[in-house]
Structures are given as structure tokens and as C-alpha cells.
Amino acid sequence: MLKKLLCSLLSFMIVIIFGALTSIAMAQSSTITGTITDANTGDPIPQVNVFIMELGTGEATDFDGRFEIPNVEHGTYTVRISSIGFVTNESEITVDANNTEFNFALREDIRALDDVVVTAFGLTREQRSVGYSVQEISGDVVNRVDQGNIVGALAGNVAGVQVVGSAGANLGGSERIRIR
């Protein structure tokens, strides 16, 4: 009888200690939030990638530039904030019970893109190094076409490109590009 009582008491103590350790471990994580804005205008930037390098997790900002990453253990991490048209920002943050909101401002990336040619194999080359004919379409031609999207504007303007649209493509349908 005493042996059963001791086993029961020991089991009960293990459950209590394990429960206390679990609640302590859970208390050491937080949900981090923040806003990503344009450094020049202060406007929020939607669809910015916020990635915690050491944890391999992240989120994209919503329409208001806000992000929320749940269950981040307390500690110091490197956060990479990136978006097309902006300079990628890597910052070190420290997450603890009092430090869960982080706001960042991104600067515009003003570097000009070089002209590239995409070949049939998906390789990029400079135009002068390609040994066959290359066709180019300027932004003025695309702007003159009365289309609801850029894909529709390519129709009939580029040799070897066929634009296939569904019914009502301008009213929410979709169009696809087939390249010969």
C-alpha cells in the first residue's frame, strides 16, 4: 500500500513539475508585430517580406504595412526586410516580454535595371551576346494599347508570343502568355 502511495505521489509531482516547466517555456515566446513604411514618404508598404533568419520563419505585410509573427521565442535575431523596388534591410532585434513591436522604414532602390534577354532555356544574356534575332517592345507601345493589364498589351506586338485570354479577361478573368 505504501509503495502504491509513493508511486502515485511521485507521478503527481512529475506532472506538476512538467506542467510548470511547460508554462514557463511557453511564457518565453511572444507574437511580434510592426509596421513597414517608406522612408521618404512615411506611407505603409504592402507585401513586404519580413523574415527572421535564425528561425527560418516570416510573414508578409498586409495592405496597411503591418506584420505579425506568432510564437517567437525570446532572444536576439537578425530580421531581413525586403520588397521589390526597395533596398533590403537587415536589422538585429531583441525579443522579450517588453519588446514585441518593431517598426522599420525602407529606402527606395534607385538602381536602374540593365536590359536582359531571356532565352528559351530561361538563361539571361546581354543582347549583343545572343547570336540570333531579338525583339524588343518599348513602354510607349504598351501604353498606347487600350488594355486592362500588361499581358493583354503584348498581344500582336511581339513575334512568337501568343496571348490567350479567358472570357471577360478585362473584367476579372485571366490571360496567359505562350512563347513559341
* Tens-place pLDDT, residues 104-142: 999 988 775 555 555 555 565 565 565 566 667 776 666
| Distances in whole angstroms, Cα of residue 127 to Cα of each of 116, 117, 136, 141 | 7, 6, 10, 20
Beta partners for 73? 29
- Segments in 31-171 forming alpha helices (H): 139-144, 150-153
d(CA 161, CA 177): 7
Half-sphere exposure of 25 (CA within 13 A, CB side): 6
pLDDT digit string, tens, across residues 60-81:
999 999 999 999 999 999 999 9
With a threshold of 0.85, does the pTM exceed it?
no
Question: Each residue of 25-55: pLDDT tens digit?
Answer: 455 888 999 999 999 999 999 989 999 999 9
The Cα 90–Cα 86 span in angstroms is 12
